[in-house]
Structure 1
Amino acid sequence: MPASPKIATRAVNLRIREDVRDLIDHAASTQSKTRSEFMIDAARRAAEDTLLDQTFIRVDPETYDRFVEVLDRPPGGEAYERLMSAPRPWKD
């Protein structure tokens, strides 16, 4: 069986307040990860979320017009009425 190719890694140096480092260490230990593993996982997830939020969707003019029409329509229907009549926990 052939060996897996080595993936190059590069160092990233960060200056961080001690209290934040301690918080990260504590969180990492609860997941049985090293500080580096925890920080890399968190940074990767944040990067993916940021890029996914920037997704551009191209549609033809007719589809866009239909989309805007649906958004501009006032809400209604049984589910909406149920939602609007539900008790509001922030009100007495």
Structure 2
Amino acid sequence: MPHAAQRKDHPLSMRLPDADLAIIDRAAQLRGRSRTEFMRDAAVRAAEEAIMDTSLLRVSPEAFDAFVAMMDAPAKPVPALTELLRRPAPWEAAAKK
């Protein structure tokens, strides 16, 4: 039995210049998404970032002291990352050939 399409509770309408619509459509196509899905995801992600940027994070004094200690501690080398950063970039390796 076919499933009915899920009803959207709150439609949203926007007026956009042709250039904006073209770039949104191109990005949505590259992601394999519809324009609506792409714009909804982008809007929700931007909203979440705005909320997180303005949200206050509260921690105990002990947790804050532990955080500061970790930030102040010298960095420990990560062997895989060190090796990766020593490798020439693909475009540098190709130029040497």
TM bin (shorter chain): 0.5 to 0.7
Match of 1:89 in 2: 88
Task: List aligned pairs for 1:15-34, cutoff 5 A.
Answer: 15-16=16-17, 18-29=18-29, 31=32, 33=34
Which runs of 5 or more residues in structure 1 are unaligned? 1-5
Which runs of 5 or more residues in structure 2 are unaligned? 1-6
The TM-score with structure 1 as length reference comes to: 0.56
Match of 1:64 in 2: 64
How many Å apart are 1:36 and its aligned residue?
3.3
CA RMSD of aligned residues (A): 3.4
Q: How many residues align?
A: 82
The TM-score with structure 2 as length reference comes to: 0.54
Structure whose residues are more often helix by fraction:
2
- Tell me: CA distance 1:73–1:38, structure 2 relative to 1, closer, same or farther (3 Å): closer
